[in-house]
Structure formats: C-alpha cells, structure tokens
Chains A and B, each alone.
Chain A
Amino acid sequence: QSVLTQPPSVSEAPRQRVTISCSGSNSNIGNNAVNWYQQLPGKAPKLLIYYDDLLPSGVSDRFSGSKSGTSASLAISGLQSEDEADYYCAAWDDSLNGWVFGGGTKLTVL
C-alpha cells in the first residue's frame, strides 16, 4: 500500500490527452513539491516533472504537471506510442521524514 495513490493503469488513443492523478495528504503533497518520473520498460526512472509543474531540460512540453491541495496530476497531450511507460509521483513526507512514491500508473497507448 503506497502512501501516494495513483490509478494502476490508464489508456488512451494516439494523439489524445490523458491525465494521471496522484493523491496524498497534508504531510506530503499538501506541504511539499511533487515530482513525476517516467519509467520505460526495463529502464531506470527518469525525471519528468519537478517542483509540481516544471519541466527539466530536454523533456517534451507535451508533458505538464499541476497540483491542488493534497492532489497532483500529470497530463500528457498528443499521445505517442513511445509514451507507453510506468509513471510515478513522489513527494517528501514530513510525518515519515522520508520520500514517498505512488504505486505507479501504467500508460497504454491504444
């Protein structure tokens, strides 16, 4: 049972838009920044979004992040087959005094 809650899977057609939710509490998302990571099959996670909504250099602007209260979302527009991956949200948790992750969401591009 992960501290941050994500849907196990989402799917959408190519060129469409999909959102992935991440729900937490006041001790993590409500009081700290949310980061998102993309994990392609068989690969290490890669930073996708940091500090709620900032894109690292080199990451496509088809990816965007947002946060409201104790929930955060990752949106991917113009879906491509190469976007098929697992996506994880993460945040610092003040109560646990450590990093917590969501359980991950598997994105399928139909």
Chain B
Amino acid sequence: QVQLQESGPGLVKPSETLSLTCTVSGGSISSYYWSWIRQPPGKGLEWIGYIYYSGSTNYNPSLKSRVTISVDTSKNQFSLKLSSVTAADTAVYYCARSTYYYDSSGYYGYYFDYWGQGTLVTVSS
C-alpha cells in the first residue's frame, strides 16, 4: 500500500521560504506525477504544482513565481519550496500522487489516487 508523509516546519515567518518534503513508501516514486495541494483553514483545495519523477515540473500560474518543486528518486522523496510567504499562505499542505486511466477508445484521464495526511503550516512572526 502506497503511503505519503509530509514533513517540515509548522511555523514560518513572513517573507521567508516554506519548505516541505513528501516521503513515499510502499511503492516507487518512478513513473508517476507527484503534486502539492494546499487548503487554507476552512477553505477549498488549491493545486500548487507537480513534478514528474524525471524532474519535469508544472506550476499553478498564480504561484509560479514563488514555487519550486524538486525530486530525489534515491530517497523516494519530493519537495516543495514556496518563497516570500505571507499569512495568505497559511494552509494544510498535502502531497499526492497522480496516475491515469486509459479507456478503450484511447482517451485517458489523470486523477489523484494517494494523498498524504497533510501538514499545517502557519505563517506568522
């Protein structure tokens, strides 16, 4: 059974960089897309970005200037860095795996099949 576990500081000061790591166990990080998703307290889900195991990335345009996602296949981990944080970045941060389904017509679609338990990061001085 694949498991994802987020780790990192729960408190970050304004203007500093938020850093989180997601450790994947029970399966290989290879051949999948890995995403970071966040949820401000009492609000909905927001996709931050993804990384493919090979290292290619794609970020939410609204966060792109501040986000870096990297992968370490030797450790079965991927990481998030979000710079210049403000109180608006206070949220529960989830890591998630996406996989795809191919139908008989050759069409396919991706979905998030495994999620970490989430970690609350508070931005405050």
Contact = CB atoms under 8 A, between A and B. Distances in A.
Contacts, number: 65
At the interface, is chain B mostly helix, strand, loop or mixed? strand
B111 A47 contact: yes
- Top 6 A-B residue pairs of the complex, sorted by shortest distance between their CB atoms: A33-B109, A99-B47, A50-B111, A35-B111, A44-B115, A101-B45
Interface residues of B, number: 23
Given A45-B94, A99-B47, A104-B45, A32 B109 contact: yes
Contacts of A47: 111-113
B117 interface: yes
A92 B107 CA distance: 14
A110 interface: no
Given A33-B109, A51-B101, A92-B110, A2 B118 contact: no
A contact residues, range: 20 to 34
Given A44-B117, A45-B94, A104-B44, A98 B58 contact: yes
Nearest to B118: A44
17 contacts: A33-B110, A37-B45, A44-B94, A45-B112, A45-B115, A50-B111, A51-B111, A56-B113, A88-B45, A90-B111, A90-B112, A92-B109, A96-B61, A98-B60, A99-B37, A101-B47, A102-B44
